[in-house]
Amino acid sequence: MTIYTSDLDSPIGRLRLYGDRRALLAVLFDAEAAPAFVADEGPAIEDARAGVLPGAIRQLREYFDGTRREFDLPLAPRGTPFQQTVWRALRRIPYGRTLAYGELARRIGKPGAARAVGMANHHNPLSIVVPCHRVIGADGGLTGYGGGLDRKRWLLALEHGTAIPAPRRSMSR
């Protein structure tokens, strides 16, 4: 399989997208290492015009502009069956809403698995598109996010209509 990659400058920093002809495979923040599947499949080819990347780039830009609330992209994240279950549940959290890890665990039928849900969130390869930023602590506070809490805070503010343009370099991990 040929894997394509492209970078997208966004209000929260550079994003690196990975996809093939059929599906979006990963959306990562600039400091994150390439996903393991890239090494398995061979080097990714930089080409923003290939496969699903043009649509993904357009939809992410629309999201950051505030004109898109849901992503309509073919996705193929690689993970365990449990991770896949959590990632599907994340996509059902509505735009502008948040949900506690424990509640997400209950929704997937694993009420005692809040920590495991947190780990599945941590391994989500499709940042923003699979909205793990919408998951918060039981007390309503912000907890870990692979892109850093500043980015999580900004994404939630965007979805609540309170975000201000962020300097691209201000978002640290």
Which residues are part of the catalytic machinery? 132
Nearest by Cα to 86 from 122, 56, 60, 59: 122
| Other residues' Cβ atoms within 10 Å of the Cβ of residue 43 | 10
Query: C-alpha angle with apex 75: 83 to 38, nearest 5 degrees?
Result: 80
114-122 vs 81-90: helix crossing angle, rounded to 10 = 90
